Amino acid sequence: MDHLWTPWRMAYIRGEKQPAEGCIFCQLGAAEDDRAQVIARSQWVYVTLNLYPYNNGHLMIIPYEHVDTPEKLPAETLTDLALTTNRALAALRRAYNPPAFNLGANLGAAAGAGIAEHYHFHIVPRWPGDSNFMTTIGHTRVIPDSLDNIYRDLKAAWESLYADGASGSK
């Protein structure tokens, strides 16, 4: 019998993790080290791993500006978000070759936004059969790799694609 161990999730499930002071997305955007698991930065947005992913390679694109809806973002940020989304799709294809993606945002807590006060955009790679009995019956997602490995793979894919500066990095 195989066992699925995800001990890092228990503190989250129990609600034991205390929220950080201030906005976690603002803090991640300002961080300058790899512990933040930021894949790439551009002038207006950054790309990071979702710490509670729906699937392997689940990314978020987050504006540096602290707003709760894209309606409050200037055109430059919205354009950068769209271009960065395309770059993230290319990096995910290079690293994991998913045949499909879910793209979108949850605006407001009632829509499922875990951090409703800071708008963010999700990219979720999808594979046939990735929703299985574990999700349906056990209410548990199976992520086949660690966040550290995913970060390493996607960072390398991004850098190989955009080493010439095409990423718009800060």
Report yes or no: 68 and 118 within 8 Å, Cβ to Cβ: yes
Whole-model pTM?
0.80
Per-residue pLDDT band at 134 (split at 50, 70, 90)? low
The encoded tokens of residue 41 equal 């930065």
Other Cβ atoms within 10 Å of 158 Cβ, number: 22
The pLDDT tens digits of the residues spanning 88-124 come to 999 999 999 999 999 999 999 888 888 899 999 999 9
Q: In what order do the strands lie in the sheet with 45-49?
A: 38-41, 45-49, 59-63, 121-126, 100-104
- Give the amino acid at 76: E
Among the listed ranges 2-16, 122-136, 142-156, which one has the minimum average pLDDT value? 2-16
Domains of the chain are 21-162 (3.30.428.10)
Report yes or no: 118 and 66 within 8 Å, Cβ to Cβ: yes
Mean per-residue pLDDT, 71-96: 97
The CA-atom distances, in angstroms, between 120 and each of 16, 52, 103, 134 are 24, 14, 11, 27
Report the C-alpha gap between 77 and 142 in whole angstroms.
34
Q: Is 3 an annotated catalytic residue? A: no
Report the C-alpha gap between 165 and 134 in whole angstroms.
41
What integer pLDDT is reported at residue 51 of this predicted model?
85
Report the C-alpha gap between 114 and 125 in whole angstroms.
19
Catalytic one among 58, 118, 120, 139? Answer: 120
Report the C-alpha gap between 151 and 34 in whole angstroms.
9
